[in-house]
Structure 1
Amino acid sequence: MKHSLFFALLIGILLGCKKEGEPDPVAPTPVVPTPVDPIITPQKVTGEWVAAQGGGGGFNNFDTFKNYQFNFEVKNANQDVIVGLTSSDINVAYALFDPLGQRIDVSGQSRSMSKPYKLNAGKHRVVVTSDRRAVGKFELTMLGVNGEPVRIPSQLLQSDTQNWGTLGGGGLDKSFKNHFYTFDITDDNTSIDVELESPDTDISLHLYDELGQLVTKEFGNRYGFRIIAAKKGTYTVMAGTRERGSIGSYRLNVFGKVGNLKRVVSQSTTVSGNWASGGAFDTYTIQITNNNSPLDINLSSADIDVRINLQNSVGQQLDNTCCAVKSTYLAVEKVTQGTYRIMVQSYPSATRRGPGNYTLTVHGQFTDFKKI
Structure 2
Amino acid sequence: MSDPIPMIRPHKGRGAASNPEGRFESTRHQAEDDGWYREDDEHRPETEVREELARSVITRNDSPDVAFEQATNPYRGCEHGCIYCFARPSHSYLNLSPGLDFETKLFAKTNLEEILRGELSKRNYVCKPINIGSNTDPYQPIEKKWRLTRAALALLNECNHPCTIVTKNALVERDLDILAPMAQRNLVQVFVSINSLDNKLAAKLEPRATAPHRRMKAVETLAQAGVPVGVLVAPIIPALNERDLEAIVEQAAARGAKAVGYTCVRLPHELKQLFREWLDLHYPERAAHIMSLIQQMNGGKDYDSNFATRMRGQGVFAEIIRKRVQVACRKAGLHRAWDVVLDTSCFVPPRVRSPQGELF
TM-score by length of structure 1 reads 0.19
Q: Which has the larger radius of gyration?
A: 1
- Which of 1 and 2 has higher RCO (CA within 8 Å, sep 6+)? 2
Structure having the higher helix fraction is: 2
Structure having the higher strand fraction is: 1
TM-score by length of structure 2 reads 0.19
